[in-house]
Amino acid sequence: MLLNVNTKSGQAEKRRAKRLQDFGFDERGLQDVLFKTMDRLFPEDELLLLMQSRHWQEEPDLMALNRDGDLFIFELKAWEADSSNLLQVLRYGQIFGGSSYADLDRIYRRSFGQSHELKAAHKAKFGVELSEANYNRKQIFVVMTNGIDRKTREVIQYWRQAGLDTRPWVYRIYAGGTDEMLLEMSPFRVTDNPYEDYSEGYYILNTNIGNSEVDHHAMLSEGKAAAYYDPWKYKIERLQKGDVVFLYQSGVGIVAFGEADGKIMKLPYQGNPEDADEEYAMKLNRFQRVNPPMSAAEIKQVTGTNYVFMSTMFGMDAESGKAVRNYIVQNGRIAP
């Protein structure tokens, strides 16, 4: 809900939502917008992304797994009051619902490289080791729908009450200024991450060692902040010149830090020309290694904040960021 508030009278009224066609905007255009911001919409700390749709393929827009190995099937089309809305996502359930672990592993490797094993990535993400039989025992269907699309939302509600795990992902559109469309889109997640949109000049970036030791060592040896593939790589675009980035190794702690130079580098992932522009990186000036690393427990103690370190990158408030940096320096943790 978006409210228009009169700052003089204190009166508020609900702004009327619009449809895509009111702005001459089509479904593909909305998908492109969402994919570019998926790092803020997709719960990477709760779901492991398997794939994004390819052109001209009968595939859902996104598929992901949760901690228990349940398969989430997302359809991000801008349907409105169309009886085929739910049928399309159920069709994908028919295609992929019977997929074995081996099938899902092939899908994951196709998306993220043949050297990336699904079981290893799942264990690194959630800290549990599932047997192959526990993958895809249940499917959850997620349908994007406009907030004013009453019919589709009623159908989703009906099927959910009937025992089919369908969930709406609601967006709303409002008129803005000239040539402007306001899109209200909530993150699809079970729990809230209050740190995801902090932007006070301090960030913690995971070195990706759970997926690739090569990526981890490249960040340390080259003194850079990097992220890989959609949607995670776009997090690097948030960094501005002078921002302090702490490199965090999963299970170890902060192993290095530096100041972003503000210049985005788009590189082929691990030098493979077939994965062009799949690495977004930024040089870190005044780069320093931390030895011994500053552990998660120390970070929580110094900042008084119970951070969740599974995210690719998240922001810290300035007070906490300065406290972490001072702790490293004052305790002689800068590597020679």
| Residue 56 pLDDT exceeds 90 | no
238 in Cβ contact with 199 (< 8 Å): yes
Residues paired with 314 in a beta bridge:
204
CA atoms of 213 and 109, how far apart (whole Å): 17
- Residue 222: its pLDDT value, please? 97
Domain boundaries along the sequence of the chain: 14-185, 202-330
Q: How far apart are the C-alpha atoms of 213 and 327, rounded to whole Å? A: 27
Q: Which CATH class is domain 202-330?
A: alpha beta
Of 243, 232, 250, 236, the closest CA to residue 321 belongs to 243
Residues 297, 309 contacting (CB under 8 angstroms): no
Question: Cβ(74)–Cβ(61) under 8 Å?
Answer: yes
pLDDT tens figures, 310-326: 788 988 888 999 999 99
- Condensed to tens digits (0 to 9), the pLDDT of residues 200-229 reads 799 999 999 988 899 999 999 999 999 998
pLDDT at residue 36 greater than cutoff 80: no
What is the pTM for the complete model shown? 0.67
What is the per-residue pLDDT for 246?
97
3-state secondary structure the chain: CCEEECCCCCCEEECCCECHHHHCCCHHHHHHHHHHCHHHHCCCCCCEEEEECCCCCCCCCEEEECCCCCEEEEECCCCCCCCHHHHHHHHHHHHHCCCCHHHHHHHHHHHHCCCCCHHHHHHHHHCCCCCHHHCCCCEEEEEEEECCCHHHHHHHHHHHHCCCCEEEEEEEEEECCCCCEEEEECCCCCCCCCCCCCCCCEEEEECCCCCCHHHHHHHHHHCEEEEECCCHHHHHHHCCCCCEEEEEECCCEEEEEEEECCCCEEECHHHCHHHCCCEEEEEEEEEEEEEEEECHHHHHHHHCCCCCCCCCEEEECHHHHHHHHHHHHHCCCECC
Angle at 308 between CA 258 and CA 45, to 5 degrees: 105
3-state secondary structure 308-329: CCCCCEEEECHHHHHHHHHHHH
Per the listing, tokens 């000239």 go with 178
pLDDT tens digits along 69-124: 999 998 876 555 455 667 778 888 889 999 999 999 999 998 888 888 999 989 88
Tell me how far the alpha carbon of residue 114 is from its chain's centroid: 22
Structure tokens at 179: 């040539």
- Other Cβ atoms closer than 10 A to 39: 22
Of the pLDDT bands very low, low, confident and very high (cuts 50, 70, 90), residue 328 is: very high
What is the residue whose two structure tokens read 């099927």? 159
Whether pLDDT at 1 is above 80:
no
Nearest to 309 by CA among 264, 248, 263, 242: 248
What was the pLDDT predicted at 84?
62
Residue-averaged pLDDT of the chain: 86
| Mean pLDDT computed over 318-335 | 94
Contact 61, 38 (CB under 8 A): no
pLDDT given for residue 85 in this prediction? 60
Report the sign of the C-alpha dihedral through residues 188, 190, 192, 198, in that order.
negative
Instruction: Write out the two tokens for 177.
Output: 């200024």
Strand pairing class (12-14; 166-175): unpaired
> pLDDT tens-digit profile of 153-201?
778 888 888 888 988 888 888 888 888 888 888 777 766 666 665 567 9
pLDDT at 228: 92
* pLDDT in the model for residue 39: 66
What per-residue confidence (pLDDT) applies to 79?
52
Q: CA-CA distance, 27 to 186, in Å (whole number)? A: 18
pLDDT at site 80: 57
Q: What percent of the chain has pLDDT over 90?
A: 43
Please give the pLDDT value at position 194.
62
